[in-house]
Amino acid sequence: MEEDKVAPAAELAPSDEDINLLLDELIDLESFNLIGLLQDVQDRFGFLPPAALEGISKRTRISLSERRRSIIMERTLFSATRSGSQAI
The string of pLDDT tens digits covering residues 1-41 is: 444 444 444 457 899 899 888 888 888 766 778 888 888 89
User: To which H or E segment does residue 40 belong?
Assistant: helix 34-45
Residue 67 confidence (pLDDT): 64
Q: What percent of the chain stands above pLDDT 90?
A: 6
What length is written for the chain? 88
Within 8 A by CB and 6+ apart from 85, the residues are 6, 7, 12
pTM of the model: 0.61
- CA nearest neighbour of 56 among 67, 70, 69, 43: 69
Output the average pLDDT for the chain. 75
Distance separating alpha carbons of residues 65 and 81, to the nearest angstrom: 19
Higher pLDDT, 14 or 75: 14
* Whether the Cβ atoms of residue 47 and residue 57 lie closer than 8 Å to each other: no
